[in-house]
Amino acid sequence: MVIILKELADRIENHGKSCYPEECCGIILGKSGGGKRNVSDVCEFQNHQEENRRRRFFVTPREYMRAERIAAEKGLELLGFYHSHPDHPAIPSEFDREHALPWFTYIVLAVEGGEAKVMTAWELSDSRDKFLERHLSVEQNLRDLTGVGKKAGPV
């Protein structure tokens, strides 16, 4: 289960809308344990993909190192990454699968016609052959970070 505060989900949505019709990308930070990933911060990153930014995003090795440094400075874990799918469902692509790592969470936001629609969470299987969808719970406040929540959709 992935638990995220509504204000952070809103930040991801706003980033996706501002980058439309290209993909946005960023990192998700927080704590994990007990089968849950509590997202407590997100940071926007620049999409360094040089070609086809409408269908691809790229985080450079330098940016990845920056992500690890940001997490360490905040005393949090680098839980994974988020990105948008302009005019495409919030389902990871084959390209996403080929470039993903099994231990990270991947939040995907569908942006249709410049409007944020559905947000989903995924984790790559240990065999790296498929993504497994994770329950994404969008909570209003910290008190709600108990694991009881609603399936994310339009937030």
Q: What is the reported pLDDT for 46?
A: 83
Q: What is the reported pLDDT for 149?
A: 39
Q: What is the reported pLDDT for 74?
A: 96
| Helices (runs of H) and strands (runs of E) counted in the chain | 3, 8
Integer Cα distance of 120 and 82 in angstroms = 10
Q: What is the reported pLDDT for 54?
A: 72
For 47, the token pair is 């999409």
Q: Which residues of the chain have pLDDT under 50?
A: 144-155
Integer Cα distance of 92 and 115 in angstroms = 19
Q: What is the reported pLDDT for 53?
A: 57
Domain boundaries, given as residue ranges, for the chain: 2-139
Pick the CATH number of 2-139 from 3.40.1370.10, 3.40.140.10, 3.40.50.720, 3.30.110.30: 3.40.140.10
